[in-house]
């Protein structure tokens, strides 16, 4: 019986080998969008895909005489899967650009492919500083954690926050945030009394927050991947840290627009620094938020979405500049140095580092017409990624 | 490892065996000596602790007290497989077979293991000529040749029972412990089965546990009677047959002897069943 | 100090309620149901949806979550699970993992993959603190609530198992199905109701836990390991076993994170391995138990 | 008639006609359909991983949810070796296997006692601990960001690992074939038979003189070595190693794959890998968001209908033929 089963399997294999053969037409311009669409990072994928599709809907799908084709792949945030998919997209589907990349390892694993195949690789989410150094073909349109955390470290001391405990998720971005926040804060005369790292899959924050409470700092600086933010704030309040006079500050991931609406009053007054808020007061952003929400049954765009949106913008413009001629390098050249207004505000792609340079806003969570928003009250202009300085 | 005080002819000697399960004492200070070449029968009513004693001798259980020597060597703390290597092999009251293998494979593997080929991984099972011949001989001897390529799990109970014994003999034991070997075997085949066993070389010592008195008396040349976990008496079949005590405690139970065969369903393919046997023989005991 | 202990207990209690159903189904039906977490998730989502879409108060949601998932459990037991009781363990694993996949994708499709957030009633949000700093005991009201509910449930369960006719039937069936059936116990009914109650408890746990553990479609996969740890360490022959195991796990986890955060998850796993090597049948199993 | 006995004994170990055909197909595939070289590479690796699990699960009866421990260790060691010592793939492979073997020998003591569930959890725990370890040793392993800068040298000093994955595919296929043949020989040997004896009935295995624990240890270690090889192939052909090599779901997936293909039959691992991976690839390219649902549905149906009957639809409405061979 197993023999029969086995031959069946082989047959199935043969069939699907012939079925899924990819053929590339010349006048199409293919964007391979690799994202975590399932598993714990799924939201990232959804936001970015939605934003990308929105951009195409708004700006048409023909650029420089080429038909834009978006190929979405799910890497289940497994780096080796990301890499394989990228490789297949490059080799089989002959994509012109790789884009997406939800988590740092995925981006890191794929970078060599970009280099080897001279395919530009637009990072729309992953935020560890070092990614852009992994390959000369990496261009980032999201943000880096040093950017966000440094801005906060500048603001804090001016506002009577001297003693801070940091609490970050124990992986690349978290460590970045911890490192640069600490450096800048000490530079500004503040001090980090304790640095806590929570395991990525640690379900309960209680013990850590208890530790914070016992340490009695002026403020708690938090970075956790979007999603976990809500839990932190609730338990922060439940543990009475706010009553104990401890402020909660963090990068914008904590008050992710994606969920802010459901977080409830515990989030009120939380001060974060980030590059994008759905409440950013600009015509462009209003339009963006409106149409995004409309297109996705009420889902509010978050910083991931804007990363995807601007990523598409960068690709479109680069294609225009290169007139669809000359492969990856021409495209890359077109991406470098782009300056434009994004829903997040003014931003540009640094020609040297290929990393995003943008304004970082300080925001406080407030109620606007019944809903919670990150309302920007201060801005630090043109923040380069401090990670590149060293 | 001092040689025992008993005369050299004693092959297997268990002294002062005591086995307790929690409250109940399943075996209470039993001493058993099996002489070289003996056809020794161990009888006693259900729950007398016979199987427990076997489990103690073979190392499935380690005694609470007492000492076991095999050909003078103390084996009280040896693992079952080590005792087997020293020539003591047992069969089980409830079949313990390798259900997904065929009788042929089973015997081939037992024989190979016995010939010290158990670690050979580069040549196929049965490539070795002696192994193949021995298997063939055993299959023929136990009438398993025609079913040798069927998976054991589909065999009729009688065949499974034969295989149970065949496995033990494949280990070429010097001391063989038979735990109700013919239980559940159709009457016709019983005699034959026991004859095969009895026909073993004279220097092989056999300890037989059996309910069926006719078989026991036709087979044994020495008998030990166990009651309530204690040794009641020992002697030649004649002595036992005429012993009033035995008549009193034992023959009362005689009728149930024939029916001692477990249902086929009871063939647990896992090691638990030994524990079951133990537990039951211990449990029935005070009930 | 005391606060930690308290948090650990609350966490453990939660794990217990989530996992006890699994323990019983494993012990009773000898069925490895990796989909157990899916029922917990069902309870969680029932609560969230009722509260968000229909503004049902939290306290009302809890029993509904229990009933909902219990019903779900009952239906599935009757239709899908029953035929598999006599299949090999591996097929059961395959099957229940398949269910989990479907549940995860399904929830994702209908509700979305974002973390769901529950708005607790005010009176559950506060916090009470006793004693002075050295021996200070701070209790979040919600955690207090969890402990109370779970403790009540545990007592109820214990009563159900030891004092009621159903309980004795259940225990009989656990010990030996054949015999139980022989004694005229309708094993099918026992199985069905047990499975339903187990799923219901999981659902309730999911509802209670959404606040503490978070709730998203990957819930069943994320916590499967924790459930299994509880069952393996606690053993499947009683409910006190899993209870103690869960408490141990909860306290060890919390304390570990507080005192040696560097070691992360090491503590829990090493502890588990040590225990299982020391007592392969589980820490709190009477000798000769399952 | 000795020949009768002997030949029917040797029947199983003899090659069936379809086996060489199958392998020829496998080796032809990357050439016939270059666009699938990458997925073929991945399938080969997963197949090897699954086959190694089959040795302990299918033949020795040890349930393990921590097999990724060896996969991951082999992978990391091979990757680190390439990065820090020398880039030659074959040497790296050997080193990776060695490391996994040692770990296997060490861990084998944890699987000698207890019930299936206990073993399940202990193996799982070992895997998770290694995961934590790799995470904490970030100075060496790159922690959660993964290990970068792994550059593989050309295979045999001749064949570069190309972008199309041809070299990778043939590399993995060859290693798979060699180790498969090795295991095939092992399971049909007297040694293999003693493993099956232990699987079927531990008590009796002991009662015929098989040193059960030693055998368990031996097979567990061997399986670990092969799993390590699979891990090494993975990191060598992707030039990257990250924590998820150790993840629980790796162990779970490989078990699914094996059980889909059928345990206790080395080809089960291969079959499962082909079916599962191709299905995942096909479905997830159609619906990247919800493919897991369909995989799940497939598993449920597979179990409810039964492996054999699933492939013979006309038998669906007759009486069940009683369970898959799992």
Q: Is residue B215 part of a domain?
A: yes
**pLDDT tens, N- to C-terminus, chain B (287 residues):** 444 344 448 889 888 888 887 777 888 888 999 988 888 999 888 778 888 888 889 888 888 888 999 888 898 888 888 898 888 999 888 889 999 999 999 999 999 988 888 788 888 888 888 888 899 888 988 888 888 888 998 988 888 888 998 999 888 888 999 888 887 777 777 777 777 777 778 888 999 988 778 788 888 889 998 888 888 888 888 888 888 888 777 655 444 433 333 333 333 333 333 333 333 333 332 32
Q: Phi first, then psi: what are they for D159, rounded to 5°?
A: -100, 115
CB contact (8 A) between residue C95 and residue D117: no
Q: Which residues of B80-95 are buried (b: 16+ CB within 10 A; e: fewer)?
A: bbebbbbbbbbbbbbb
CB contact (8 A) between residue C211 and residue A170: no
D87 touches C at CB < 8 Å: no
Q: Is residue D116 part of a domain?
A: yes
Residues A326-359 have pLDDT tens digits of 678 888 888 888 888 999 988 989 888 899 999 9
> pLDDT: is A159 or C130 the higher one?
A159
Q: Which chain C residues in 180-239 lie under 8 Å from chain A, judged by CB atoms?
A: 211-214, 216-218, 222-223, 226
- Only one residue has tokens 């290169």, namely A322
CATH domain A145-274+360-389 topology: Rossmann fold (3.40.50)
Q: Is residue B141 part of a domain?
A: no
Model pLDDT, residue B269: 38
- Only one residue has tokens 């290694």, namely D130
Model pLDDT, residue D318: 56
Q: Which chain D residues in 289-308 lie under 8 Å from chain A, judged by CB atoms?
A: 289-292, 307-308
The neighbour count for residue D283, using CB atoms within 10 Å, is 17
Report DSSP letters for A158-194, one per residue.
HTT--EEEEEEESSHHHHHHHHHHHHHHHHTT-EEEE
Model pLDDT, residue B267: 38
* Helix pair angle (D267-286, D37-54), 10° resolution: 140
Name the average pLDDT for chain C: 83
> Which residues on neighbouring strands pair with residue C130, listed in sequence order?
C137
The neighbour count for residue B248, using CB atoms within 10 Å, is 11
From edge to edge, which strands make up the β-sheet containing B175-179?
A: B88-90, B175-179, B205-209, B39-43, B222-227, B230-235
A240 touches C at CB < 8 Å: yes
Q: Kindly indicate the confidence band of residue A289, based on its pLDDT and cuts at 50, 70 and 90.
A: very high
Q: Is residue D224 part of a domain?
A: yes
Task: Give the separation between CA A89 and CA A95, rounded to whole angstroms.
Answer: 6
The CA dihedral of C245, C251, C255, C258, to the nearest 10 degrees, is 120
C136 touches D at CB < 8 Å: no
Average the pLDDT over A142-167 and give the result.
89
Q: Which residues of A touch D281 (CB under 8 A)?
A: 16, 20
Examine the pLDDT at A174 and tell me if it is beyond 90.
no
D126 touches C at CB < 8 Å: yes
Q: Which CATH class is domain A24-143+284-354?
A: alpha beta
Which chains border A (3 or more CB–CB pairs < 8 Å)?
A: C, D
Model pLDDT, residue A6: 56
Angle at Cα C27 formed by Cα C24 and Cα C30, nearest 5°? 115
The CA dihedral of C144, C149, C155, C158, to the nearest 10 degrees, is -130
Q: Which residue on chain A is closest to C124 by alpha carbon?
A: A238
Chain C positions touching chain B (beta carbons under 8 Å):
287-288
Q: How many domains does one find in chain B?
A: 1
Of A38, A240, A263, the CB nearest to C117: A263
Task: Give the separation between CA C6 and CA A238, rounded to whole angstroms.
Answer: 14
Residues A124-139 have pLDDT tens digits of 988 888 888 888 999 9
Q: Which residues of D touch B276 (CB under 8 A)?
A: none
For C66, the 3-state DSSP assignment is helix
The neighbour count for residue D106, using CB atoms within 10 Å, is 13
The neighbour count for residue D31, using CB atoms within 10 Å, is 11
CB contact (8 A) between residue B99 and residue D194: no
Model pLDDT, residue C290: 33
Decide whether A24-143+284-354 matches A145-274+360-389 in CATH topology: yes
Q: Which chain D residues in 285-314 lie under 8 Å from chain C, judged by CB atoms?
A: 289-293, 295-300, 302-304
Mutation pick from A4, A8, A10 vs chain D, by most beta carbons of D within 10 Å, is A10
Could you tell me how many helices (H) and strands (E) chain D has, helices first?
A: 15, 0
Q: Is residue B50 part of a domain?
A: yes
Gyration radius (Cα) of chain D, Å:
20
Q: Which residues of C touch A237 (CB under 8 A)?
A: 125
Of D128, D290, D296, the CB nearest to C98: D296
Percentage of chain A lying above the pLDDT 70 cut? 91
Q: Which residue on chain D is closest to A169 by alpha carbon?
A: D144
Model pLDDT, residue B279: 35
Task: Give the separation between CA D85 and CA D82, rounded to whole angstroms.
Answer: 6
CB contact (8 A) between residue D323 and residue C269: no
Gyration radius (Cα) of chain A, Å:
22
Model pLDDT, residue C66: 93
Residues C234-246 have pLDDT tens digits of 887 777 888 888 9
Q: How many domains does one find in chain D?
A: 1
Report chain D (326 residues): mean pLDDT per 10 consecutive residues: 73 86 91 87 94 93 88 94 90 95 90 79 86 84 79 82 86 95 93 92 89 92 96 91 85 88 88 90 82 87 78 57 39
For A122, the 3-state DSSP assignment is strand
Angle at Cα B11 formed by Cα B9 and Cα B12, nearest 5°? 140
What's the first-to-final CA gap in chain A, in angstroms?
64
Average the pLDDT over C14-25 and give the result.
86
Task: Give the separation between CA D232 and CA A363, rounded to whole angstroms.
Answer: 47
Residue A344 neighbours by CB under 8 Å, 6+ apart: A275, A276, A280, A285, A303, A306, A310, A358, A359
Question: What are the residue boundaries of the structural domains of chain C, listed by start?
Answer: 2-224
Examine the pLDDT at C176 and tell me if it is beyond 50.
yes
Q: What is the DSSP letter of C78?
A: I
Of A20, A91, A108, the CB nearest to D146: A108
Q: Which residue on chain C is closest to D133 by alpha carbon?
A: C266
CB contact (8 A) between residue D194 and residue B80: no
Model pLDDT, residue A8: 60
Model pLDDT, residue D216: 92
Model pLDDT, residue C273: 84
The CA dihedral of A148, A152, A155, A160, to the nearest 10 degrees, is 180
State the CATH number of the domain containing residue B200: 3.40.50.300
Domain that holds residue B16: 10-96+173-285
Global pTM value: 0.85
Model pLDDT, residue A201: 64
Under 8 Å between Cβ of C65 and C47? yes
Under 8 Å between Cβ of A73 and A101? no
Q: Phi first, then psi: what are they for C178, rounded to 5°?
A: -55, -50
The neighbour count for residue C186, using CB atoms within 10 Å, is 12
Of C90, C93, C280, the CB nearest to D113: C280
For C246, the 3-state DSSP assignment is helix
For residue B211, give both structure tokens. 């309910």
The neighbour count for residue C98, using CB atoms within 10 Å, is 25
A378 touches C at CB < 8 Å: no
Report DSSP letters for B138-167, one per residue.
HHHHTT-GGGTTS-GGGS-HHHHHHHHHHH
Task: Give the separation between CA D30 and CA D25, rounded to whole angstroms.
Answer: 9
Q: Which residues of D touch C109 (CB under 8 A)?
A: 289-290, 293
Continuous H helices in A133-279? 145-158, 172-187, 206-215, 228-238, 257-263
- How many Å separate Cα C157 from the centre of its chain? 13
Task: Give the separation between CA A163 and CA A192, rounded to whole angstroms.
Answer: 6
A371 touches C at CB < 8 Å: no
Domain that holds residue D46: 21-267
A202 touches C at CB < 8 Å: yes
Of A9, A17, A134, the CB nearest to D148: A134
> pLDDT: is C172 or B233 the higher one?
B233
Q: Which chain C residues in 127-146 lie under 8 Å from chain A, judged by CB atoms?
A: 127, 129, 138, 140, 142-143
For residue C233, give both structure tokens. 């360490």
The CA dihedral of C203, C206, C207, C208, to the nearest 10 degrees, is 120
State the CATH number of the domain containing residue D64: 1.10.3470
Task: Give the separation between CA B94 and CA B102, rounded to whole angstroms.
Answer: 19
A218 touches C at CB < 8 Å: no
Model pLDDT, residue B98: 92
Closest of B50, B59, B70, B53 to residue B18, by C-alpha: B53
Model pLDDT, residue A22: 39
Residues C140-162 have pLDDT tens digits of 888 889 899 988 988 888 888 88
Closest of C200, C151, C184, C150 to residue C42, by C-alpha: C200
> Which residues on neighbouring strands pair with residue A348, listed in sequence order?
A339, A357
The neighbour count for residue A386, using CB atoms within 10 Å, is 21
Under 8 Å between Cβ of B97 and D204? yes
Report the gap between the CA of C234 and the closest CA in chain D (Å).
11
Parallel/antiparallel/unpaired status of strands B39-43 and B205-209: parallel
What's the first-to-final CA gap in chain D, in angstroms?
35
Task: Give the separation between CA B147 and CA B156, rounded to whole angstroms.
Answer: 10
Average the pLDDT over A185-208 and give the result.
82
């Amino acid at each position: 019986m197993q023999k029969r089963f086995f031959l069946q399997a082989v047959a199935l294999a043969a069939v699907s080998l012939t079925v899924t053969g990819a053929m590339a037409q010349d006048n199409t311009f293919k964007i391979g969008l690799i994202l975590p669409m399932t598993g714990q990072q799924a939201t990232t994928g959804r936001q970015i895909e939605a934003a990308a599709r929105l951009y195409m809907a708004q700006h048409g799908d023909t650029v420089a005489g080429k038909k834009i084709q978006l190929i979405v792949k799910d890497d289940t945030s497994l780096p080796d899967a990301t890499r394989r998919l990228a490789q297949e997209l490059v080799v089989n589907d002959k994509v012109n650009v790789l884009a997406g990349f939800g988590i740092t390892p995925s981006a890191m694993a794929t970078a060599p492919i970009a280099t080897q195949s001279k395919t530009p690789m637009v990072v729309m989410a992953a935020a560890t500083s070092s990614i852009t150094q992994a390959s000369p073909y990496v261009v980032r349109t999201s943000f880096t954690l040093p950017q966000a955390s440094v801005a906060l470290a500048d603001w804090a001391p001016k506002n009577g926050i001297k003693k801070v405990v940091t609490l970050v998720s124990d992986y690349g971005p978290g460590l970045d945030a911890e490192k640069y926040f600490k450096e800048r804060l000490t530079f500004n005369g503040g001090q980090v009394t304790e640095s806590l790292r929570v395991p990525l899959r640690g379900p309960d924050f209680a013990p850590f927050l208890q530790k914070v409470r016992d340490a009695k700092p002026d403020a708690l600086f938090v970075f956790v991947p979007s999603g976990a933010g809500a839990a932190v704030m609730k338990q922060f309040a439940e543990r009475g840290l706010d009553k104990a006079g401890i402020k909660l500050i963090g990068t914008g991931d904590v008050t992710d627009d994606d969920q802010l609406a459901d977080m409830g009053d515990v989030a009120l007054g939380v001060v974060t620094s980030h590059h994008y808020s759905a409440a950013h007061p600009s015509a462009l952003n209003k339009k963006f938020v409106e149409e995004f929400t409309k297109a996705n049954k009420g889902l509010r765009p978050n910083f991931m979405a804007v990363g995807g949106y601007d990523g598409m913008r960068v690709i479109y413009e680069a294609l225009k500049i290169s007139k669809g001629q000359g492969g990856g390098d021409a495209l890359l050249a077109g991406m470098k140095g782009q300056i434009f207004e994004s829903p997040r505000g003014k931003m540009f792609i640094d020609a040297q580092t290929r990393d995003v340079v943008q304004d970082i806003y300080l925001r406080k969570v407030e109620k606007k017409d019944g809903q919670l928003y990150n309302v920007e009250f201060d801005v630090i202009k043109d923040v380069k990624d401090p990670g590149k300085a060293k | 490892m001092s040689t025992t005080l008993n005369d050299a002819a004693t092959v297997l000697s268990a002294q002062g065996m005591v086995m307790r399960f929690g409250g109940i004492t399943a075996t209470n200070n039993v001493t058993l000596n099996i002489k070289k070449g003996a056809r020794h029968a161990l009888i006693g009513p259900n729950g007398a602790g016979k199987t427990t004693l076997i489990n103690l001798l073979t190392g499935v259980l380690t005694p609470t007290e007492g000492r076991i020597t095999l050909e003078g060597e103390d084996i009280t703390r040896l693992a079952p497989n080590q005792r087997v290597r020293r020539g003591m092999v047992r069969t089980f009251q409830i079949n313990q077979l390798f259900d997904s293998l065929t009788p042929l494979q089973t015997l081939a593997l037992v024989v190979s293991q016995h010939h010290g080929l158990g670690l050979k991984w580069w040549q196929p099972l049965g490539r070795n000529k002696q192994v193949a011949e021995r298997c063939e001989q055993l299959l023929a001897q136990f009438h398993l040749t025609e079913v040798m390529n069927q998976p054991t799990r589909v065999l009729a109970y009688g065949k499974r029972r034969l295989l149970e014994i065949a496995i033990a003999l494949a280990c070429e034991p010097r001391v063989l412990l038979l735990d109700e070997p013919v239980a559940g075997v159709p009457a016709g085949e019983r005699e034959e089965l026991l004859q095969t066993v009895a026909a073993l070389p004279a220097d092989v010592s056999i300890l037989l546990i059996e309910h069926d008195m006719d078989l026991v008396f036709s087979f044994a040349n020495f008998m030990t009677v166990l009651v309530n976990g204690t040794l009641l008496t020992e002697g030649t079949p004649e002595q036992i047959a005429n012993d009033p005590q035995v008549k009193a405690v034992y023959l009362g139970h005689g009728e149930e002897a024939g029916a001692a065969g477990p249902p086929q369903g009871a063939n647990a393919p896992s090691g638990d069943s030994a524990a079951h046997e133990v537990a039951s023989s211990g449990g029935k005991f005070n009930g | 100090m005391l606060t930690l202990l308290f948090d650990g207990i609350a966490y453990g209690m939660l794990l217990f309620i989530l996992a006890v159903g699994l323990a019983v189904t494993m012990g009773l039906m000898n069925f490895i149901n990796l989909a157990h977490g899916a029922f917990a998730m069902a309870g969680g989502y029932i609560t969230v949806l009722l509260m968000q879409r229909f503004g049902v108060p939290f306290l009302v949601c809890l029993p509904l979550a229990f009933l909902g998932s219990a019903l779900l459990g009952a239906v599935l037991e009757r239709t899908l699970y029953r035929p598999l009781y006599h299949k090999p363990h591996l097929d059961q694993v395959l099957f229940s993992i398949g269910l989990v996949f479907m549940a995860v994708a399904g929830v994702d499709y209908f509700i979305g993959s974002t973390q769901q957030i529950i708005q607790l009633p005010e009176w559950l949000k506060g916090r009470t603190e006793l004693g002075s700093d050295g021996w200070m005991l701070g209790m979040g009201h919600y955690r207090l609530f969890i402990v109370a509910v779970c403790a009540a449930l545990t007592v109820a369960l214990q009563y159900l198992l030891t004092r009621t006719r159903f309980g004795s039937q259940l225990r009989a069936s656990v010990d030996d199905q054949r015999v139980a059936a022989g004694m005229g116990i309708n094993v099918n009914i026992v199985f069905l109701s047990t499975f339903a109650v187990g799923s219901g408890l999981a659902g309730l746990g999911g509802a209670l836990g959404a606040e503490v553990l978070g709730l998203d479609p990957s819930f069943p996969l994320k916590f499967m390991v924790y459930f299994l740890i509880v069952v393996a360490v606690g053993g499947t022959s009683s409910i006190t076993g899993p209870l103690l195991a869960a408490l141990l796990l909860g306290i060890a986890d919390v304390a570990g994170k507080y005192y040696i955060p560097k070691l992360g998850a090491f503590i829990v796993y090493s502890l588990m391995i040590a225990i299982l090597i020391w007592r392969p049948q589980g820490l709190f199993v009477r000798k000769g138990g399952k | 008639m000795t020949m009768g006995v002997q030949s029917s004994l040797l029947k199983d170990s003899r090659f069936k006609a379809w086996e060489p055909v199958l392998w020829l197909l496998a080796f032809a595939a990357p050439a016939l359909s270059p666009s699938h070289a990458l997925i073929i590479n991945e399938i080969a690796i997963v197949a090897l991983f699954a086959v190694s699990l089959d040795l302990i699960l299918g033949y020795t009866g040890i349930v393990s949810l921590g097999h990724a421990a060896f996969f991951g260790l082999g992978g990391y060691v091979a990757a680190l070796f390439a990065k820090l010592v020398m880039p030659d793939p074959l040497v790296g492979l050997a080193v990776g296997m060695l490391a996994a073997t040692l770990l296997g020998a060490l861990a084998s003591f944890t699987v000698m006692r207890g019930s299936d569930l206990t073993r399940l959890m202990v193996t799982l725990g070992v895997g998770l601990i290694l995961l934590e370890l790799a995470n904490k040793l970030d100075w060496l392993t790159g922690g959660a960001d993964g290990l970068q800068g792994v550059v593989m040298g050309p295979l045999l000093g001749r064949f570069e690992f190309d972008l199309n994955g041809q070299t990778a595919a043939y590399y993995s296929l060859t290693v798979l074939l060699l180790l498969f043949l090795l295991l095939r020989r092992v399971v049909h040997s007297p040694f293999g038979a003693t493993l099956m004896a232990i699987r079927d009935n531990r008590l009796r295995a002991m009662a015929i003189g098989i040193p059960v624990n030693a055998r368990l240890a031996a097979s567990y270690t061997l399986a670990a070595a092969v799993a390590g090889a699979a891990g090494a192939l993975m990191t060598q052909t992707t030039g990257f190693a990250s924590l998820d090599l150790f993840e629980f779901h790796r162990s779970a997936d490989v078990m699914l794959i094996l059980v889909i293909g059928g345990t206790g039959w080395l080809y089960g691992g291969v079959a499962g890998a082909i079916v599962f991976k191709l299905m995942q690839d096909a479905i997830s390219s159609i619906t990247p968001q919800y493919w897991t649902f369909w995989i799940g549905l497939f598993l449920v149906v597979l179990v409810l209908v039964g492996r054999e009957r699933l492939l013979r639809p006309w038998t669906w409405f007759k009486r069940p033929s009683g369970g898959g061979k799992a």
